[in-house]
Structure 1
Amino acid sequence: MTDWREVMRRVPRARFTPPVVWADLGPGPWARVDRDTDPQEWERVVALDQPLITQFQDGAAEGGGLATSSLSMPTVVVEGLDQLAPYDHHRVLEIGTGSGWTAALLADRVGGTNVTTVEVDPALGMRAAERLKASGCEARVVVGDGAGGWPPGAPFDRVHVTCAVPQVPYAWIEQTRPGGVIVVPYSPGFGCGALLRLDVLPDGTATGRFVGSADYMMLRSRRPAGGQAHEWVDAARRDVRTSRTRIDPRALRHEPVSVDVTVAALVPGVLSRYYEAEDGTTTLWVLDRDDHRGPWASVDYEPDRSDFGVEQAGTRSLWDEVEAAYVRWLAWGRPDITRFGLTVTPDTHAVWLDDPGNVIGPPPGP
């Protein structure tokens, strides 16, 4: 087994960190850390075991909006690379180059000429290629949509994905040899994502288990449109159905990640958004991933209440579906994420519990 901590000592994160990063250093917004103005603080922050944001709004903003590129926290990187478990001389495809750091780590393990890394953002890809070259790494940097993989380099022995997907692109499976491994953050839209390790079979199927939580940025071509919950809700708020629930909606935010996988499988095609105020009130939104004017639901938590207000609109009662899925997860005995798995074929994504034959619900929407 590879000692990735030792690899990180040979390939330090600082070598691939941009001069300006944003870090979570306490209450409030992300803190901007600039190597040129405060090199000691920059070195201290880069050495922390936490993610560092390197880009917002696809490079169109600084320090605000949607974070669109980062350096992952080292312990999370190690977890993914441990699951990937490449052998000597394995050919590795990486999706999401970012700063180039994980490509360099992989190159240290299998040799630079065996690593191909794909980055959708031309500016990020260019800077990563420069850093890799400066460090003596021969990894190939390709600019393009990672959802298509890189057919000229196939077949690959390993596929390492550094961004989340709501479905595993079948191109990755097609480009992986039988017995090969794909490690990918799976995030169908409800709650947080989960890290998934897939084995590719000779018949073109890929199957494997979830191994833990994984809160990653979405592959750019797979992001849902919009961001704030109100963007899904018709301003007139017509035909709103009101009710009450005794389920605390905060549970859907704070329970283990296995509940997120369960809800995503049993309530296909939905997103969640969660908002919390300083007075302790919260709102959980459940939204149709593909239709901004489609079904939606909201549940409001208020301290000291025995039940909570629900609003629903559209052709589906989304909160009722989510609540039923959550109760089903409880009835199963709150199974751990490692009991769940996913099987992918050209036509289906099937989430299962304990055994691939025990599919728990329809696949999430594309």
Structure 2
Amino acid sequence: MGTVTPPDGLTFDDLIARLAAHLRTRGSLTDESWEDALRAVPRHLFAPAAAWFNSNHAGAPRGRFAVDEDPMGWWTAVYADTSIILQTDDGAGDPLSGKGLFSSSVSAPGIVFPFLELLAPQKGDRILEIGTGSGWTAGLLSWAAGANGVVSIEVDPEVAARAAANLGEAGFAPQLVVGDGTEGRSERASFDRVHVTVGVSDIPMAWIEQTRPGGVIVLPWHAGGLVGHRLRLKVLNETTAVGCFHGTASYMMLRDQRYNTRWTSHHHEAAHRSTTKLHPRTFWNMDLGAQLLCHALVPRVGWHDVSEDGADSLLLYELDDHTGEGAWAACDRRPEAAEGEVTQYGERRLWDELSSAYRQWVSLGSPGYDRFGLTVDPSGTHLWLDRPSARKWRVRT
């Protein structure tokens, strides 16, 4: 894509300035040096000539754009807060359709730069990146730290080959590895920084072992559910890392840690029925602190709200762990009712689990999101409140 230039009416500098201004307004770009990185590592060099674009916010372009069909639309979409789909269904699908499981992308700038700012790479840092994708973030890391210190691992050989070509065209040459990112790269350890671009529920100990004491790991932590959290860990020693959360950020999951949505509501006749005074609307737009505790204590569960015919409902479904049929639950409450009707099916009672976790959050005084943190060590992953030595919960994933 290096020989393609913006059409009349657009300039590269204008596109960069407009994108940077948008990111600053949304609070996604607070360090001015990363605007220089946008210019030094041009995003269009990592975008296919035709691609499906997903918007990261209302008003951003969405849909299929091709540079030879609609150059204005394509350039505008590339330099907007969009994710650019590179692959679907691990290569078996059509990435131009916008359908199927998105399995590789050029992540949206509004997601990329908050992670890079948390990582805070410095010149001379040794950096391990998990998930090369298009190569764009590997290029940004190389610009910030120097290419000789960057190692980037990609599990998919075809995606990795395209990334190598993209990076070469952009003038960067980090070490690219095709393999399992959960194993890290022990022969290049120890690292100062680990940058993870895939959703993770179980944090591999290899990343901690291969990071120097005082080093930093940033990743989207998915806690066993669909919603991810931007997590910054500081490594204490080769077995322990401690960190805090910095907002939500949902990513494509690490392939070995994916969950598939299951819904088996046809088993109504075998379901358990009860009532509750807890309103299903309680879980609509729930406080982030409550969400975090619920995600940690109620593993492999997704939920969404429904309002139909005057009734409010919350539907819960188990995310596939490849055993049995799965479980589901629903809480329905009509406006005039004093209680909600609860229906649950499967070995797990999902409504009971979720409502118990929520009540625990309330009993703690409804703590805010910024009071929670995480410790990872050989004994497991533990969520804590206020400080690592205080109240903590072992996270089940």
Q: TM-score, normalised by structure 1?
A: 0.89
1:36 match = 68
Shift of 1:342: 0.8
Shift of 1:330: 3.1
Shift of 1:234: 8.2
Alpha carbons of structure 1 residues 252 and 55: separation in structure 2 relative to 1, 3 Å = farther
1:122 equivalenced with 2:163 (yes/no): no
2:242 match = 207
Shift of 1:128: 0.4
Structure 1: 4+ residue segments shifted above 4 A: 234-238, 275-283, 300-303
2:82 match = 50
**One-letter amino acid of the counterpart of residue 317, structure 1:** R
The answer to whether the 8 Å contact 2:332/2:342 transfers is: no
2:315 match = 284
**One-letter amino acid of the counterpart of residue 285, structure 2:** H
Identity %: 40
Following the alignment from structure 1 to structure 2, what is the Cα–Cα distance between the partners of residues 23 and 80? 21
Q: Deviations over 1:271-323 (max 9, x none)?
A: 21437588786552232653542662322556746444322133432211111
**One-letter amino acid of the counterpart of residue 98, structure 1:** G
Q: Deviations over 1:305-353 (max 9, x none)?
A: 6444322133432211111111222343443322111111123100111
SS at match of 1:284: strand
1:104 equivalenced with 2:139 (yes/no): yes
1:3 match = 33
**One-letter amino acid of the counterpart of residue 301, structure 2:** L
1:163 match = 198
Following the alignment from structure 1 to structure 2, what is the Cα–Cα distance between the partners of residues 351 and 213? 16
SS at match of 1:185: strand
**One-letter amino acid of the counterpart of residue 364, structure 1:** R
Following the alignment from structure 2 to structure 1, what is the Cα–Cα distance between the partners of residues 135 and 323? 36
1:176 match = 211
SS at match of 2:389: coil
Query: Which of residues 244, 266, 282 in structure 1 aligns to 2:275?
Result: 244
SS at match of 1:201: strand
Alpha carbons of structure 1 residues 71 and 314: separation in structure 2 relative to 1, 3 Å = same
**One-letter amino acid of the counterpart of residue 91, structure 1:** R
1:20 equivalenced with 2:50 (yes/no): yes
Q: Deviations over 1:133-162 (max 9, x none)?
A: 111101111111211112221111100001
1:264 match = 295
**One-letter amino acid of the counterpart of residue 77, structure 2:** V
- How many positions carry a matched residue from both structures? 359
Alpha carbons of structure 1 residues 246 and 5: separation in structure 2 relative to 1, 3 Å = farther
- Give the stretch that moved more between structures: 173-182 or 356-365: 356-365
Following the alignment from structure 1 to structure 2, what is the Cα–Cα distance between the partners of residues 153 and 203? 15
1:137 equivalenced with 2:169 (yes/no): no
Following the alignment from structure 2 to structure 1, what is the Cα–Cα distance between the partners of residues 265 and 213? 48
Following the alignment from structure 2 to structure 1, what is the Cα–Cα distance between the partners of residues 161 and 33? 29
SS at match of 2:293: helix
- Give the stretch that moved more between structures: 243-252 or 202-211: 243-252
RMSD: 2.6
Runs of at least 5 residues in structure 2 that lack an aligned partner in the other structure: 1-30
The answer to whether the 8 Å contact 1:2/1:82 transfers is: no
SS at match of 2:138: helix
Computing the radius of gyration over CA atoms, which structure comes out larger, 1 or 2?
2
1:70 equivalenced with 2:105 (yes/no): yes
Alpha carbons of structure 1 residues 53 and 254: separation in structure 2 relative to 1, 3 Å = farther
The answer to whether the 8 Å contact 1:192/1:260 transfers is: no
**One-letter amino acid of the counterpart of residue 143, structure 1:** V
